[in-house]
Structure 1
C-alpha cells in the first residue's frame, strides 16, 4: 500500500484533510490576491541558471 503524505497549504500552512485537494482549499479559503501574492513571491525567488554550451 502506498503512503500519501498529507498536503500542506503553502500560504497558511494548514494541513489538509485527506479528502481535500489543494486546489479546492485555495479556492474556498484564500482570496485571489493572497494566491497572486504567493505566486509572485515564488517567481521572485527563482534563480536564472545560465545554459552551458
Structure 2
C-alpha cells in the first residue's frame, strides 16, 4: 500500500490524523461561511478550475 502523507486543512492549517478525511474536518470544525470564503479566495486567485477543463 502506498504511503499517503497527512492532509493539512487549507483554512486552519491543522494537520489531520491519518484516519480523518478533509471533508469530515471541514464539516465538523468550520462554518459554511469559512469554507465558502476559502473556496472564493482560491477561485479568484486562479487556484480552482472547472471540472470540464
* Alignment TM-score, normalising by the size of structure 2: 0.83
Which secondary structure does the structure 2 equivalent of 1:19 belong to? coil
Which secondary structure state, in structure 1, belongs to the residue aligned with residue 18 of structure 2?
A: coil
Q: Deviations over 1:2-45 (max 9, x none)?
A: 11100000000000001100000000000000000000000110
Aligned to 1:23: 23
Distance 1:43 1:3 in 2: 30
Q: For structure 2, which runs of at least 5 residues remain unmatched after alignment?
A: 48-53
Give 1 or 2 for the bigger CA radius of gyration.
Answer: 1
Residue 8 of structure 2 aligns with which residue? 8
The unaligned stretches of length 5 or more in structure 1 are 48-53
Instruction: Tell me how many residue pairs correspond in the alignment.
Output: 47
